[in-house]
Amino acid sequence: MARVKQISAWVDDRPGVLGRLAESLGLAGVSIRAFTAATVDGRGFVRLVVDRPAVARKVLAKHGWETTVDEILEVTIPDRPGALGAVADRLGAAGVNVAYAYVGTARSAQKVNLYLAVPDVKVALRVLR
């Protein structure tokens, strides 16, 4: 488990923008470990966990995309039925609400990294240790 920086970016909601964003990060040597993308109120909204957040923010700003950075929780879980439920149940039992979650790459076989936005990362870390 770890605290990680999540970058959120507002982008245009049109074809090719996600590709341009990902390509721009790749050209800067930034590896995307996880992401989720959606449209909100007619705008594109992308959340990213990357290996080099400071560089990523500079790249995104260069393109004129508005960004914010939040601290979220990274939990590596086995890629098997019930793994998410076990984590969510422990957090719920401790009164920790999960605002949203998504998965990304893990550095070991048959595991995934689960990214959780929670009100207090410190409390969530303590619950899951």
Q: Is pLDDT above 80 for 32? A: yes
* Closest of 40, 12, 20 to residue 100, by C-alpha: 40
- Per-residue confidence at 111, pLDDT binned at 50, 70, 90? confident
71-128 fold: Alpha-Beta Plaits (3.30.70)
Residue 28 CB-density burial (10 A; 0-12 exposed, 13-18 middle, 19+ buried): middle
CATH architecture observed for domain 2-69: 2-Layer Sandwich (3.30)
Q: Is pLDDT above 80 for 107? A: no
- Per-residue confidence at 77, pLDDT binned at 50, 70, 90? very high
Percent of the chain at pLDDT > 90 equals 88
Q: Is pLDDT above 80 for 108? A: no
Q: What is the DSSP letter of 79?
A: S
Q: Is pLDDT above 90 for 110? A: no
> How much is the average pLDDT of 95-112?
89
* Res 26: pLDDT: 98
Interior CA angle at 32 toward 73 and 16, to 5°?
125
pTM of the shown model: 0.87
Domain boundaries, the chain: 2-69, 71-128
* Closest of 105, 98, 100, 102 to residue 120, by C-alpha: 98
* Res 112: pLDDT: 86
> How much is the average pLDDT of 36-48?
94
* Res 113: pLDDT: 86
